[in-house]
Amino acid sequence: MLDAFRSLFSPARPRAADAPAAAQHHALHVAACAMLLEMAHADDEFTPDERRDIEEALGRHFDLAEDEVRTLIDLAEQERRQATDLFQFTTVIKQSYDEGQRMALAEVLWRVVFADGRLSEHENYLMRKLSNLLDLRPGYLAEARRRAGSDTSG
C-alpha cells in the first residue's frame, strides 16, 4: 500500500495514444487537485489547515515548488467552480490511476476531511459518492478513513 501511495501522483502511463503525455499529465494534476479542493469546501469552510494539507500533498506528490502548487490550486479552483459535477474529474482519475492509486487518493481526501478536526454530514456523503465514482472496492472507504484518522494529530 505504501508503494501505491508513493505512486499516487507519479506520472501515469498515457492510455490514449493520440493525447500528448504532457496534456494528460496536466489534466490529471488539475483533476486530483480539484477533487481535494471540493472535499475541502464540502463543509462550506476552507480552513488554513485544509489548505496546508492540500499544498503539502500536491508539492510532495507532484514534486512541485510552492509557486507551482499555488498556480495549480488557482487553476483547479477555477475548474472546480465551473464544473457541473465531479464526473469530469473522476473520469480523468479512473483513466489514469490504477486501483491502488485511487485508494491512496481516497486516503489523501480523508486527511483533508480530518484537517479541521471534524467530519460534517456532507463530507461523509461526498466521500461515499467519490468512492463510487472512483470505482473503489466496497469496504475500502472505512479502512481509508481509519488510516487517515489515525494519521492526524488534530
- Yes or no: say if 134 and 38 are a contact pair by the CB < 8 Å rule: no
Residues found in the chain: 154
DSSP H or E segment with residue 150: helix 140-151
Q: How confident is the model at residue 151 (pLDDT cuts 50, 70, 90)?
A: low
For residues 46-71, average pLDDT: 91
Residue 1 binned pLDDT confidence (cut-offs 50, 70, 90)? very low
- pLDDT interval class at 19 (50, 70, 90): very low
Distance between CA atoms of 50 and 64, rounded to whole angstroms? Answer: 18
pLDDT at 75 over 60: yes
Q: Domain coordinates of the chain in residue numbers? A: 2-7+22-151
Q: How many Å apart are CA 103 and CA 78, to the nearest integer?
A: 26
Question: What span, in angstroms and rounded, lies between the C-alpha atoms of 127 and 112?
Answer: 11
User: Which amino acid, residue 115?
Assistant: A
**CATH code of domain 2-7+22-151:** 1.10.3680.10
Q: pLDDT: is 26 or 154 the higher one?
A: 26
- Per-residue confidence band for 72, with pLDDT thresholds at 50, 70 and 90: very high
